[in-house]
Amino acid sequence: MPTQAHIAIVRLLQAGKAKYVVSGNHDNLHLKSGVLPDQIAELFGNAYVERCVQCSKRYYRHTQVPTHLRLGRTCDQPSCNGRLVRTGKIRFDTLKSLVIPLCFVGVRFGQLIPEEPLANAYHHAQKADLAIVLGSSCTVSTIPELAMMAPKSILCTLQETHYDNRFTVSLKSRCDRMMGDILAHLGLAIGTYTYTQQYLVEASLLGVENPTQGGKKGKVRMEITSPYPNEGCTCIESAVVSLRDGKELEMEESKTGFELEFSIPLDDESEKEEEVRPNGIRQKDEREKEKEEEERGKGEKEKENENNREPRSCWCSVTVRYRPEWGSIEPSMVVIEVPGLSEEDPIQRIDRVFVKEVPYE
């Protein structure tokens, strides 16, 4: 999650007090906190961003791009079809020219920085009235050298650096604290940060099994995926399917999220009721009425079920546990009903949103 300092930067940008961000990190925390792509130069790329080698289009993902050298993904721009590469780790084929950057900001030997973000950083550093360097060890000289281009500069970090004497002000302090003080001085509120990640829960009926013993069974495939292409469900640590008989099945982690195939007993109760009733037409009307009522109250019913944690008229439920790094958030339960277990209407997709609220005040 972004720190208080990350959020403070966003507030300064929103208030027009800060103009541009130059980052040496590739952890995506600036974009995640709300910095817009044209407000930042990420000198060493971003582990959440892929770039097309043909047309340079950038793809901003909600999850980290896998570290395989060849992703096997291609650009979706019409008539491009170029190969996508990670940007979080600089490789030689992403570098066009190192000559100019090496001259003007003294990039250390072995530090490879692509031309475009460095040119943007240089452009904004030239115009700056004040540059603030946060939490940098200054071992990579690019960041302090860029800051030196502004008439006034502040370095805020806990450790001693070779650049301490060259800044206008050098503070040995926590960035969160200093940025909080700056916001307070300007009368700006830091507020609450809300992070959301979406995922889909999908159940599909693969078929009906009719074993000699134990009654009919439905074969169900359950999947939890991201609604976005090439992304997984990073907020989810594990997912468990609970059946009505109390059995619990751990879902398996897949390339795109979680998946599991399992059999569940078919509920024949409705059929039995129908057999007992004498009037077929009346029975049909009643069922339609019930169905309508069910449609209307679906949202409430789902909430109700979630609160009670007791699936009643449903086939199974999925309980999703979130990764601890997203904060202590209660597991959420999704009740899955495979309607009528007919193969004409086999799929139910349920959109879920993971929401984490961080109050910074």
Residues that bind Zn ion (CB under 5 A): 52, 54-55, 57, 75, 77, 80, 82
State which residue, 58 or 289, has the beta carbon closest to Zn ion.
Answer: 58
Please state, in angstroms and rounded to a whole number, the distance separating the CA atoms of residues 86 and 231.
Answer: 14
3-state secondary structure of 277: coil
Q: At its nearest, how many Å lie between Zn ion and the CB of residue 56?
A: 7
Please state, in angstroms and rounded to a whole number, the distance separating the CA atoms of residues 271 and 292.
Answer: 19
User: 180 Cβ partners below 8 Å, 6+ apart?
Assistant: 4, 8, 190
Neighbouring C-beta atoms of residue 62, cutoff 10 Å: 20
Q: At its nearest, how many Å lie between Zn ion and the CB of residue 54?
A: 5
Sign for the pseudo-dihedral over CA of 124, 125, 127, 129: positive
Q: At its nearest, how many Å lie between Zn ion and the CB of residue 51?
A: 9
State which residue, 80 or 112, has the beta carbon closest to Zn ion.
Answer: 80
Which structure tokens are listed for 203? Answer: 């159940």
State which residue, 53 or 158, has the beta carbon closest to Zn ion.
Answer: 53
3-state secondary structure of 216: coil
State which residue, 57 or 219, has the beta carbon closest to Zn ion.
Answer: 57
Q: At its nearest, how many Å lie between Zn ion and the CB of residue 164?
A: 44
Q: At what angle do helices 175-186 and 4-14 cross, to 10 degrees?
A: 30
Rounded to 10 degrees, what is the CA torsion of 57, 59, 64, 66? -60
Please state, in angstroms and rounded to a whole number, the distance separating the CA atoms of residues 273 and 315.
Answer: 18
Please state, in angstroms and rounded to a whole number, the distance separating the CA atoms of residues 314 and 358.
Answer: 34
State which residue, 77 or 342, has the beta carbon closest to Zn ion.
Answer: 77
State which residue, 79 or 97, has the beta carbon closest to Zn ion.
Answer: 79
Q: At its nearest, how many Å lie between Zn ion and the CB of residue 91?
A: 18
Q: Which residue has the tokens 């906190």?
A: 33
State which residue, 82 or 191, has the beta carbon closest to Zn ion.
Answer: 82
Q: Which residue has the tokens 């030689």?
A: 92
State which residue, 31 or 75, has the beta carbon closest to Zn ion.
Answer: 75
Q: Which of 135, 167, 134, 170 is nearest to 149 (CA)?
A: 167
State which residue, 71 or 188, has the beta carbon closest to Zn ion.
Answer: 71
The residue nearest Zn ion at its CB is 75
Q: At its nearest, how many Å lie between Zn ion and the CB of residue 80?
A: 3
Q: At its nearest, how many Å lie between Zn ion and the CB of residue 77?
A: 4
Please state, in angstroms and rounded to a whole number, the distance separating the CA atoms of residues 167 and 134.
Answer: 12
Contact (Cβ atoms closer than 8 angstroms) between residue 315 and residue 244: yes
Q: At its nearest, how many Å lie between Zn ion and the CB of residue 55?
A: 3
Report how far apart, in Å, the C-alpha atoms of 268 and of each of 30, 283, 338 are: 54, 16, 14
Q: At its nearest, how many Å lie between Zn ion and the CB of residue 83?
A: 9
